């Protein structure tokens, strides 16, 4: 019997539902870990309602609180939208940097964490005996970066390198071209802010390697996102024993990198595939279908080869019924959780260099990787026409997943952070 549970104040940077991005999926994975470790860890959740709501972050409501209470003991919500000083404070940052200096707000700014929000966190920490404070994303780092206590361990999960994400964002949002942004100086700012935490977590192999040159080894941890939870005994269905309904599968939300990626595939790659294999079927899952529907209206000749599955409540069905998973993104940062999901289902993966760089994927070993449209098309045809090649990749990617991305492996890394020993990791799926 555990006599003392570690107490964690867990900051959530985005609403838990509806699920529209990888940040949510990663946070939900950590919450699942807390739930499975409830004998060892007690969790309180903190979130904020700020005046600047977006389609990505529409705000925290009663439904979100009830969702969090399935795992957390308490949920604390900072109603920043009612704090006039915070609103003026954040807007002054925008005016100073955007209007006067004509530059983007620096990555280490407290724009997202005005004084009221910081004070709210400090009051929670001051009135309770938390052992850990966990912050999600650099935008909210200032909530805990300056907390100091011998009993308090601060953790930040980066999700993405903010400086790199800003650079990518400028490509997706042309209006930012009018504002200056110096990557080098902002990256230094980012590292300095991260260095204020006791533990810094990266889920991307590529970003981890960048940070490893700037942060102490004892502080930096590489912890992948938890993939889609396998349903029933689907993990025991071998690739060769599956009944395929889809040739190529792409699972994505309606974000700029995903839209650019599928546009690249449909314009430059798919026609080459259809020229050699006219009956090839591409199936799409998620909100990306809304964008592709508009594309098909303009390019009606592709409609017979594209299946828009939309929202699918159980992803195990399309994954287990597909021959190949594609991820043709040319922009974006961080780890593509869709690829970890594909790995968990032992699926052959065909992707681009930027997507593969975040994961332990090697071209010709456990995946096929290229940015060249002709080679991408040829790889797709090889996987669809050569079952042995596809099966070999499926077997190799399964081994990679089990060694580096399985629930037991990730839980062990999290256990180390929280000082948990001898916890059961079997039968968690």
Calculate what percentage of the chain has a pLDDT beyond 70: 91
Q: What is the pLDDT of residue 61?
A: 85
53 vs 346: which has the higher pLDDT? 346
Alpha carbon distance 100, 96 (integer Å): 5
pLDDT tens digits, one per residue of 302-335: 789 999 999 888 888 999 999 999 999 988 766 6
Specify the residue for token string 């390019």. 299
Confidence at residue 165, expressed as pLDDT on a 0 to 100 scale: 84
Give the pLDDT score at 53.
59
- Phi/psi for 133 (5° steps) reads -125, 125
Question: Do the Cβ atoms of 161 and 207 come closer than 8 Å?
Answer: yes
Question: HSE (CB half, 13 Å, CA atoms) of 63?
Answer: 6
Contact yes or no for 243/396 (Cβ under 8 A): no
Higher per-residue confidence, 139 vs 257: 139
| Percent of residues, the chain, with pLDDT higher than 90 | 64
Helix, strand, coil share of the chain (percent; to 5): 45, 15, 40
Q: Do domains 6-226+407-418 and 234-404 have the same CATH topology?
A: yes
Model pTM score: 0.87
Higher pLDDT, 324 or 68: 324
How far apart are the C-alpha atoms of 405 and 399, rounded to whole Å?
10
What is the CB-side half-sphere exposure of residue 379 using CA atoms within 13 A?
25
Q: Are strands 153-157 and 220-222 parallel, antiparallel or unpaired?
A: unpaired
Kindly report the CATH number that applies to the domain delimited by 234-404: 3.40.50.2000
CA distance 166 to 154: 25
Contact 227, 325 (CB under 8 A): no
pLDDT band at 145 (very low <50, low <70, confident <90, very high): very high
pLDDT in tens, 176-212: 778 899 999 999 999 999 999 999 999 989 999 999 9
CATH topology of domain 6-226+407-418: Rossmann fold (3.40.50)
Where in the chain are the domains?
6-226+407-418, 234-404
- pLDDT single digits (tens) 235-282: 568 898 999 999 999 998 888 889 999 999 999 999 999 999 999 999
């Amino acid at each position: 019997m555990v006599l003392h549970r570690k107490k964690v104040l867990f900051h959530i940077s985005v609403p838990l539902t509806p699920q529209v991005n990888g940040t949510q999926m990663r946070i939900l994975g950590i919450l699942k870990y807390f739930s499975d470790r409830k004998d060892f860890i007690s969790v309180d959740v903190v979130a904020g309602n700020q005046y600047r709501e977006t389609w990505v972050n529409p705000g925290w409501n009663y439904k979100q609180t009830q969702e969090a209470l399935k795992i957390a003991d308490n949920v604390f919500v900072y109603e920043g939208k009612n704090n006039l000083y915070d609103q003026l404070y954040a807007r002054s940052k925008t005016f100073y940097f955007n209007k006067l200096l004509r530059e983007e707000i620096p990555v280490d700014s407290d724009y997202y964490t005005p004084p009221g929000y910081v004070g709210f966190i400090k009051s929670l920490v001051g009135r309770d005996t938390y052992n850990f404070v966990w912050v999600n994303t650099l935008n909210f780092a200032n909530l805990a970066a300056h907390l100091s206590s011998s009993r308090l361990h601060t953790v930040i999960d980066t999700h993405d390198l903010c400086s790199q994400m800003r650079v990518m964002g400028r490509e997706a949002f042309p209006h930012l071209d009018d504002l200056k942004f110096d990557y080098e100086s902002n990256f230094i700012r980012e590292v300095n802010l991260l260095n204020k935490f006791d533990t810094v977590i990266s889920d991307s192999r590529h970003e981890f390697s960048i940070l490893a040159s700037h942060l102490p080894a004892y502080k930096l941890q590489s912890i992948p996102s938890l993939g889609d939870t396998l349903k029933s005994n689907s993990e025991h269905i071998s690739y060769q024993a599956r009944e395929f309904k889809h040739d190529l599968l792409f699972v994505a939300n309606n974000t700029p990198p995903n839209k650019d990626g599928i546009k690249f595939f449909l314009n430059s790659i798919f026609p080459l595939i259809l020229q050699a294999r006219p009956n090839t079927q591409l199936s799409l899952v998620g909100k990306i279908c809304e964008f592709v529907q508009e594309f098909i209206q303009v390019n009606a000749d592709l409609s017979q080869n594209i299946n828009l599955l939309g929202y699918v409540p159980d992803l195990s069905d399309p994954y287990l019924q597909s021959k190949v998973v594609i991820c043709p993104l040319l922009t974006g940062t961080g780890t593509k959780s869709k690829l970890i999901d594909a790995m968990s289902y032992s699926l052959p993966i065909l992707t681009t260099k930027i997507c593969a760089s975040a994961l332990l994927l090697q071209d010709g070993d456990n995946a096929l990787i290229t940015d060249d449209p002709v080679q991408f098309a040829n790889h797709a045809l090889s996987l669809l026409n050569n079952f042995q090649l596809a099966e070999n990749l499926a077997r190799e990617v399964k081994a990679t997943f089990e060694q580096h991305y399985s629930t037991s492996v990730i839980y062990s890394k999290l256990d180390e952070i929280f000082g948990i020993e001898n916890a059961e990791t079997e039968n968690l799926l």
